[in-house]
Amino acid sequence: MAKAATTLEEEPRRALADALDPMSDEELRAEFERRRDAKPSAKTPAKSVTDVLAQLEAVRDVRLESDGAGVATCGELTPSALQDLFANRTCALHVPGFGNVGTCTELARWLADRPAHTWGGTDTSYTAGIPVNALYSSVDEAIAYFKEALPAMRAIRGATNGLSPLDKLRLELDELWPSGATVSRDNPYRRKMLAGLARVMRPETLLDGITRVEGIIHTDSSMFLDSEHGLFSANIYLDVPTSGGELNIFPVAMQQPEHLQSLVRVVAYFLQYSFDPVHRERIQRQLHALLPAPVTLTPRAGDLIVLNTGRPHAVRGFTAGTRVTLQAFALHEGTRPLQFYS
């Protein structure tokens, strides 16, 4: 799961970091261990997940209200469509045919022949690049993440005999957005990050229970949205199943009627445990019961979809075919260039 968008107060630190050289492997290892040792121990919650679940499961016919944000469908990226998305006036931006279908199909075939790796507790495999979660897992995986970043991007580019669809996205955002877009160095080690992760979903990798049909409702950043700062996820679809695999986005309103307001924080609490195998089934059923009806998108090969990762979302299951995407996060922070990483 990605880290939440960073606050404006950290910009002076960011400016300093941008001026410094990337850390060596030895420096990275020392910094990783320093941060690990300084990390405070997790506090035991006042109420356990099981206790909160038991209380909510006794409640019937309670559902949070939607904020009414819909999907903006555009023939091409525009500054106004991006501004509406970043300001949370829309819940997603959909650009059909953003990538050349032939290129996407060829790239999907190339990726299908590569070894696939899974990250614990998810229903997705990775075939080019290492997920950003590696930076918080172990020092060896953090070093591997950076060492694999550029080769993975070059391999994807090479498989397309030119620029990849995600290269096109970065170029267009750099041209369209007033402050531009760049590959991120926003990490403790000041190294350039991966920008474009190849992700594959197959029926055999889907998890059991309700998630096999409805997917895992989750967020990748804070559910409490901010119109000036946010973490957005861009997916370019290379291959999709003929049936299923839809993207559901739950546009829950942050301001609810008084008798429902406390449920917003309960949902935010549950979303921290979306991938927890012990509680996943019960939590997912509670999220389906509490969240407003989703906005559903059915992508096709070549489509681009961008959404705020703080909005609960899920990919529905399917029984045949594959779902292959190129994915990157774009961190929006005021007047800074958009920061791309995966």
- Sign of torsion, CA 161 75 304 149? positive
- Sign of torsion, CA 274 188 235 128? negative
Q: Give the closest residue to 231 by CA, choosing from 300, 313, 294.
A: 313
Strand partners, 304: 95, 236
Give the total residue count for the chain: 342
Q: Give the closest residue to 305 by CA, choosing from 237, 225, 245.
A: 237
Q: Give the closest residue to 99 by CA, choosing from 76, 81, 83.
A: 76
Which DSSP helix (H) or strand (E) runs through 147?
Answer: helix 139-159
pLDDT in tens, the chain (342 residues): 444 444 444 555 555 555 689 999 999 999 999 999 998 876 656 568 888 898 888 877 889 999 999 999 999 999 999 999 999 999 999 999 999 999 999 999 999 889 988 877 788 999 999 999 999 999 999 999 999 999 999 999 999 998 999 999 999 999 999 999 999 999 999 999 999 999 999 999 899 999 999 999 999 999 999 999 999 999 999 999 999 999 999 999 999 999 899 999 999 999 999 999 999 999 999 999 999 999 999 999 999 999 999 999 999 999 999 999 999 999 999 999 999 999
How far apart are the C-alpha atoms of 133 and 196, rounded to whole Å?
A: 14
- Using left for φ > 0, alpha for ψ between -120 and 50, and beta otherwise, residue 172 falls in alpha
pLDDT at 46: 55
List, as own/partner pairs, every contact residues 284-289 make where C-beta atoms lie below 8 angstroms and the sequence separation is at least 24, other chains included: 284/209, 284/210, 284/211, 284/214, 284/216, 284/217, 285/210, 286/53, 286/56, 286/57, 287/217, 287/312, 288/210, 288/214, 288/217, 289/62, 289/63
170 within 8 A of 339, measured Cβ to Cβ: no
- Concatenated DSSP letters of 281-338: HHHHHHHHHHSPPPEEE---TT-EEEEETTS-EEE---SSS-EEEEEEEEEEETTSPE
pLDDT at 121: 73
The secondary structure of 183-209, three-state, reads ECCCCCCCCCCCCCEEEEECHHHCCCC
The CA-atom distances, in angstroms, between 249 and each of 223, 236, 253, 305 are 12, 17, 12, 11
How far apart are the C-alpha atoms of 55 and 282, rounded to whole Å?
A: 12
pTM: 0.91
- Concatenated DSSP letters of 101-140: HHHHHHHHHHHHTS--EE-TT-S-EEEES--GGGGGT-HH
The amino acid sitting at 284 is Q
